[in-house]
Amino acid sequence: MSNLNKILLNKINCKSIWFMRQAGRYLPEFQKIRSKNQNFIKLCLNSELSSKITLQPIKRFDLDSAIIFSDILMVPYALGQGVKFTKGFGPKLSNFNLKEFLRNKKKDFSKKLSPIYKAIDITRRKLDKKKSLISFIGSPWTLIVYMLNIKENKNNIDLGEFYNKKKLVDQIIEVLVNFLCIHIKNQINAGADVIQVFDSWAGLIPNEYLNDYCFTPNTKITNFCKKQKTPIICFPKGIKEKYEDFNNIVRPDGINLDPEINPLWAREKLKNVVVQGGLNPNILLKTDEDIIEGATKYIQTFKDIPYVFNLGHGLLPETDPDKVSKLVKFYRNFDG
């Protein structure tokens, strides 16, 4: 059993470090592959390359866990929605069609995503058995934000569009939960031993619907993972003090902090859970002294409770890999 699994399942305090978006855009070895593979969806579905990319940060930094190179929007893609990634603008999905969405079959869905499962299998066989292999999904709400194109900007959804489409949201969210659980099960069967759920746009949910669109679907997914005896880390980014309610209701094995969460508050309020991350990814764009100061704050705050060192979001494209290497070495050697 890997350190990450031990921490998540047994709530013990031993050292473990990995980073969200550790496999990808900031690494020159990834950029070399990406330059020859312009279609991002096809790259995610190239099992050999996906596995190779997944293992790049393990080879470079010897991190404790690998996270499979993929994307949360592979699920809408497999459910029949066009997904296009444009540099500088991010993802754009084709218009949502409810009738086509409801026609989706489990077998067809799994077949479309089978290259991801093959990549997990390849990676698991190449990865040190002491290291965890993490797979992931986007939460139903976060996927819906993209699927129905209701995001106005990074900080807001278009409330008018949301209320116009609320009935549609209610119609599709349970179906999404079911397909996400299928995707999780397939990834576990392929060799993944930890599941991370990215609810990246949870903070955009109107407060009166937080239970319906965040707590309830994440609880169903968490309970499903527990039935599979596979630990789950949830990341309800942007919900601020509602992190406490989320933790008490959803009861995940691990909970990832975003940079807005005060670590001292988290230590006091988040009980019976493994805390992960929190450090602002922007810190890696600053001086070595700033990085050490920021990391020390989190390490010392959580030093005697179960804690997994990570960031409060994914590594930024402009991150210098040498800074990541220095942070990893500092964490490994920290004794204070």
pLDDT (tens digit per residue) in 196-242: 999 999 999 999 999 999 999 999 999 999 999 999 999 999 999 99
Contact 104, 80 (CB under 8 A): yes
SS3 assignment, position 322: helix
The number of angstroms, rounded, from the C-alpha of 189 to the middle of its chain's C-alpha atoms is: 19
What is the rounded CA–CA span in Å between residue 150 and residue 137?
20
Parallel/antiparallel/unpaired status of strands 65-67 and 132-138: parallel
Q: ∠ at Cα 240 (198, 176), nearest 5°?
A: 30
Give yes or no for a contact between 194 and 230, defined as CB atoms under 8 angstroms apart.
yes
Burial 146-180, CB ≥16 within 10 A → b, else e:
bbbebbeeeeebeeeebeebeebbeebbeebbebb
The token duo for 107 is: 């077998």
Please, what are the domains in the chain? Answer: 3-333 (3.20.20.210)
User: What is the helix (H) or strand (E) element at residue 157, kind and residue range?
Assistant: strand 156-157
Please, what are the averages of pLDDT over each run of 10 residues along the chain (336 residues)?
91 95 97 95 97 98 98 98 81 94 97 98 97 98 95 82 93 97 98 98 95 98 98 98 98 98 98 98 98 97 96 97 98 87
How far is Cα 136 from Cα 71, in angstroms, rounded to an integer? Answer: 8
Note whether 210 and 166 are within 8 A (CB): no
Report the alpha-carbon distance of residue 16 to residue 331 in Å, rounded: 9
pTM over 0.95: yes
Are the C-beta atoms of 201 and 145 separated by less than 8 Å? yes
Provide Rg for the chain, Cα atoms.
19
pLDDT number for residue 336: 63
Contact 137, 183 (CB under 8 A): yes
Number of H helices, E strands in the chain: 16, 11
